[in-house]
């Protein structure tokens, strides 16, 4: 029985080989890394810094090989130098792959459909946190599902105070995009 890590490695190798076969070998970033993300329940995969890809553990457990490789290839396209987000060039490569393979690379994929195809009940108890805030004075960390621009600006402009310690300097991470924004 293959471990999740072995499964990920196998499917990454297959995906890379298939991209080379359709002529995209030169676009591949040789520094790409792949990891399993055990925390993300609302996401299939993610590409950080146009290089570091993580694939959600639930997808590796529930999805078909094709579902998983769709996601791996989706993320690999984000590592191509000339792509920005899901803008025109990314869409061009997605169409390029779709026209030459049996994959269907799309901007968004329904998580519910993947569970439905696997005939597995999707877990319902989950809260999606977008923001992680750290008080740099005392180190306290807390998470928020949403923040208005006004609240966000309050943190970055020093207008917020951590009542427990009096700290006014915060580090803010956008968990959706694994980006330190402040």
* Token duo for residue 106: 């799309």
Instruction: Report the alpha-carbon angle 143-144-148, nearest 5.
Output: 145
Choose between 120 and 151: whose C-beta lies nearer to Zn ion: 151
Choose between 81 and 125: whose C-beta lies nearer to Zn ion: 81
Choose between 6 and 151: whose C-beta lies nearer to Zn ion: 151
Choose between 36 and 140: whose C-beta lies nearer to Zn ion: 140
Cα distances (angstroms) measured from residue 50 to each of 3, 139, 179: 26, 29, 12
Choose between 11 and 76: whose C-beta lies nearer to Zn ion: 76
Residues 6+ apart with CB under 8 A from 148: none
Q: Least distance to Zn ion from the beta carbon of 133, Å?
A: 10
Which positions lie near Zn ion, rule CB under 5 A?
135, 137-138, 140, 162, 165, 167
Q: Least distance to Zn ion from the beta carbon of 57, Å?
A: 18
Q: How far is Cα 180 from Cα 129, in angstroms, rounded to an integer?
A: 15
Q: Least distance to Zn ion from the beta carbon of 56, Å?
A: 13
Q: Least distance to Zn ion from the beta carbon of 169, Å?
A: 9
Choose between 53 and 152: whose C-beta lies nearer to Zn ion: 53
Q: Least distance to Zn ion from the beta carbon of 164, Å?
A: 5
Q: Least distance to Zn ion from the beta carbon of 140, Å?
A: 5
């Amino acid at each position: 029985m293959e471990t999740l890590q072995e499964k990920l490695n196998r499917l990454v190798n297959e995906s890379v080989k298939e991209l080379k076969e359709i002529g995209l070998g030169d676009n591949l970033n040789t520094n790409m890394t792949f990891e399993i993300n055990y925390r993300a329940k609302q996401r299939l995969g993610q590409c950080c810094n146009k290089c570091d890809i993580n694939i959600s553990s639930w997808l590796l457990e529930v999805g078909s090989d094709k579902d998983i490789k769709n996601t791996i290839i989706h993320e690999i396209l984000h590592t191509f130098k000339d792509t920005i987000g899901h803008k025109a060039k990314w869409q061009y490569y997605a169409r390029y792959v779709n026209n030459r393979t049996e994959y269907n690379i799309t901007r968004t994929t329904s998580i519910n459909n993947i569970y439905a195809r696997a005939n597995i009940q999707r877990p319902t108890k989950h809260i999606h946190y977008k923001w992680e805030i750290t008080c740099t004075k005392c180190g306290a960390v807390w998470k928020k599902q949403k923040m208005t621009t006004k609240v966000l600006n309050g943190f970055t402009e020093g207008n917020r105070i951590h009542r427990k310690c009096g700290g006014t300097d915060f580090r803010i991470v956008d968990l959706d995009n694994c980006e330190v924004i402040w």
